[in-house]
Structures are given as structure tokens and as C-alpha cells.
Amino acid sequence: MIEIKNISKTFHQKKQTFKALNNVSLAVEKGDIVGIIGFSGAGKSTLIRTVNLLERPDQGQIIINGKDFTLLSSKQLADERKKIGMIFQHFNLLSSRTVFDNVALPLELDHVGKEEINRKVNELLKIVGLEDKAHDYPKSLSGGQKQRVAIARALANDPYLLLCDEATSALDPATTQSILQLLRDINQRLGITILLITHEMEVIKAVCNHVAVIDKGQLLAKGTLSEIISDKENPVIRQFINSDIMTIPQEINKKLQKEPQDGLFPLVEI
Ligand code: ADP
């Protein structure tokens, strides 16, 4: 469904050039949760930003559902971007808007009618477990709640793809797990493909079925989670596997291993 083909990107700053991505190729199947892992500065954000062309690659193609995004006009690209949700480390909520109005924003920009906005936003707030926070402002929310609002907003236009840029890096381990569980539910129940970048192996282990390892702008390895974990030869992978950046409390980890129940989205305590 998503083919990243031979992407390179060089940044130019103060007469200096820096090659952030060097000939990276990656295919993502519909319904996958793909984790892109690498150290800080490896090129992960640049890679994810090239998918919806927030960063235009110097060379290569981004083919999504058969369309080469690098060939689209800016109007066509703007339409395509509506179907790709983004979630960021620091939530990027508008502090002057309530929870409801933050989630409603993409719909307002799309000139959706008031009644439909009401229906949709209430449905989204239910999905993320924040029905009772609709009239609160971001400043009164916890980090996990803010990220839930950002996730609801990212889902407003019924995206087929979610791009998560270090979505849990600003959260404590327990909140991280509740947000990862929400992402897993969204993937399973709404069928949304997720591309997630992180520098934490535990995040990858908790939700991803495929992994790509980026180092110094290059794709070092890709495969299923078990293939990557069993690749003990690769020094970068070994460093991540042995890393202790974040440890999941055992009881939360056990809970995560269980299949979610059918029916409603579980409301996770924050
Ligand atoms: P990661 O997400 O893995 O931490 P990034 O993709 O953010 O890495 O950055 C990769 C490299 O590209 C870094 O060295 C960063 O400084 C550089 N870089 C990223 N964006 C820009 C930019 N807009 N201008 C100049 N350099 C940039």
C-alpha cells in the first residue's frame, strides 16, 4: 500500500550540507503497524515527513495506493494529506480551544456541517475515552489525555494511515502503554495502518509487527519484529535490545499481551 522507494534527502544550512536520508526504501502493507527505530538524528522524522511530503525528497518516490505523491500538484497533495493523520511528541494542541474544538478543527477546515461535526467529534471522544473532557482546555489535561485529544483529531477525517512521530516520548511508562494500547485498538478495529517512529525498543515490542532500523540516514535492517529481535549480529539492534531506556512494568506488559475484548474500545485509566 505504501512504497517508499530510494528516498534521499539532503539539508542545506549555512553553506553546509547534511545527508539526512540516503537511498531508503521501505514497503508497508495495509493494516501493518511498522516501527521505525533509530538513535536521535538517525533520520526517522525526516523519513516519516517524506511520506506525506511535508519534507520533499531530493530523489525517490512515495507511492501510496498506486499514486506517486512526488508527482501530485499541491492541491492534490493537500487532499491526500487529509487522509493521513499525524501525531507528535508534544501533541500540538491549540491552547485557546477546548478539547471538542481541537478535535473539530480538521472538520471545520473541511467545511463540514455543525450537526455532523457534533456527531463525529462525540464519536471520536468516545473512541479515545475522553467524552467527559469535551469542554476542558488542554492546560487542564494530563500528557496522556492531551495525546488522546491529538489522536482523536488525527482520526477526524477517517484516515487510512497514521504517522506517529515519537508519540509517547513525552509520557511516563504507564501512560505510554495506555497510548500504545489505544493505537493498537485503532489499528485492529478501524483497520488503520500505522507508521510509528521511536528510539525505544520497548515501544516497538509493545505494538509493532514490522520494524525498520534507521542509522545515519540509511536503512540498516527491516523485517518482522521477531526477525529483527533475533538479529544479534547487528550492533545497532543489539544496543536497542539491551537498552534500558524504558522498562514496562510487568503487570502492564501482561495486560498488553492479552487480546482486547470485542465490542467497545477499552477505556484505559490514565
Ligand atoms: P531523528 O528523527 O532520527 O532524530 P531527524 O530526521 O530529525 O532525525 O534528523 C536527521 C538529521 O537531519 C539530523 O542531523 C538533523 O539535524 C537534520 N535535519 C533535520 N531537519 C532539518 C532541517 N530542516 N534543516 C537542517 N537539518 C535538518
User: Which grid cell is 264?
Assistant: 467497545
Cα distances from 247 to residues 229, 234, 239, 252, 259, in angstroms, run: 16, 22, 15, 11, 21
- Neighbouring CB atoms inside 10 A of 183's CB total 24
Q: What percent of the chain has pLDDT over 70?
A: 89
Please calculate the CA angle 235-239-244 and round it to the nearest 5 degrees: 175
User: Which pLDDT score, from 0 to 100, does residue 242 have?
Assistant: 65
214-244: pLDDT as tens digits: 999 999 999 998 888 887 777 777 777 666 4
Q: What residue owns the CA closest to ligand 1's atom 7?
A: 45
Compute, in angstroms, the gap from residue 33 CA to the centroid of ligand 1: 23
Beta sheet of 2-13, edge-to-edge order? 16-28, 2-13, 59-64, 67-68
User: Which pLDDT score, from 0 to 100, does residue 241 have?
Assistant: 67
User: Domains in the chain, please, with CATH?
Assistant: 31-56+77-257 (3.40.50.300)
- Neighbouring CB atoms inside 10 A of 173's CB total 14
Q: What residue owns the CA closest to ligand 1's atom 27?
A: 11
What are residue 164's phi and psi, to 5 degrees? -115, 115
Ligand 1 pocket, residue 20 CB under 6 Å: yes
102-150: pLDDT as tens digits: 999 999 999 999 999 999 999 999 999 999 999 999 999 999 999 999 9
Question: What whole-number distance in Å separates Cα of residue 223 and Cα of residue 67?
Answer: 24
Ligand 1 atom with least separation from CA of 49: 6
Question: What whole-number distance in Å separates Cα of residue 192 and Cα of residue 184?
Answer: 9
Please calculate the CA angle 259-260-262 and round it to the nearest 5 degrees: 115
Q: What rounded mean pLDDT belongs to the chain?
A: 88
User: Which grid cell is 11?
Assistant: 539539508
